[in-house]
Amino acid sequence: MKARFLMCAPQHFEVAYVINPWMEGNIARGSNPAAMQQWSALLALLRHHAQVDCISAREGVPDLVFTANAGLVLESRVLLSNFRHAERRPEEAYFSQWFVEHGFEVLALPPDVYFEGAGDALFDRRLPLLWMGHGHRSDPAAAAMIASLFDVEVEPLRLVNPHFYHLDTCLCPLEGGALLYYPAAFDAVSQERIATLVPPELRIAVGAADADAFACNAVNCGRHVILNQASDNLCAALAAHGYAVHQTRLSEFMKAGGSAKCLTLKLTEARTPALALP
């Protein structure tokens, strides 16, 4: 089955407020034509490998482009996000309407439990588990609720660096089972959990320079990995694992704290095969 993703064009994208450290000093510093050009290049690349649907851009919700935060999709159901920051809450109704119109069963958490969708919740591609980031945006209390709603094992990971405030900024499970991630973004217990669950030959750990260039914020489709930028070493490591790396500049979106993966939401999420956890 061809993978399908959701994106949102950046007509109304700008840095209009500060809710993460990347946005500091960047209010009204962006170029909308440059954002449009970078986004279109990402869309064109992704369309080589997948079907892409777009939700209409709307005025007053500049971060709507970051569709990864719409919710968490599994099969035909979606658990909508409850954004931590008031600035992003108006996006919830637009995403909800899109999912209803496109035949998804829409689920929600209690309104006081913050959860930022596929920004903080990523299915492993080998283990039958969902990695869930918390510490900045999503509440740890969401983990047990997601586990029971979706009948999945949830592995909470604590994020400790404010620059890596969503799980998808520092961790990317790849098809075939490899895990691309930035260890320093996690507390010691979480680093240990990852090392226990994922064997060394499947861990692709990046250093600070790659992490700062949003290399972990990658869109994976089959053996293709689309990202803003990766060092020669990282490209070689990914190639050694069988992946083809496509670099496409997303500097305008980095001013808002996002990059390739944040600008997409995978809509075709199937359950992973059940393998025993160690």
| Positions marked catalytic | 166, 262
Cβ proximity to ligand ARG, 69 vs 190, nearer residue: 69
> How far is it, in rounded angstroms, from Cα 239 to Cα 106?
38
Site membership for ligand ARG, residue 98 (CB under 6 A): no
Site membership for ligand ARG, residue 66 (CB under 6 A): yes
- Nearest-approach distance from CB 166 to ligand ARG, in angstroms: 4
Q: Which of 230, 257, 260, 266 binds ligand ARG (CB under 6 A)?
A: 257
Cβ proximity to ligand ARG, 88 vs 246, nearer residue: 88
Cβ proximity to ligand ARG, 18 vs 113, nearer residue: 18
Site membership for ligand ARG, residue 220 (CB under 6 A): no
Cβ proximity to ligand ARG, 120 vs 124, nearer residue: 120
| Nearest residue to the partner ligand ARG, using Cβ | 119
> How far is it, in rounded angstroms, from Cα 153 to Cα 150?
9
Residue count, binding to ligand ARG (CB under 6 A): 15
Site membership for ligand ARG, residue 132 (CB under 6 A): no
Task: List binders of ligand ARG among 157-186 (CB under 6 A).
Answer: 166, 168-169
Is the CA virtual torsion 232, 208, 170, 156 positive or negative? Answer: positive
- Nearest-approach distance from CB 277 to ligand ARG, in angstroms: 26
Site membership for ligand ARG, residue 133 (CB under 6 A): no
Cβ proximity to ligand ARG, 43 vs 202, nearer residue: 43
Interacting residue ranges for ligand ARG, rule: CB under 6 A: 19-20, 63, 66, 68-69, 88, 119, 166, 168-169, 256-258, 262
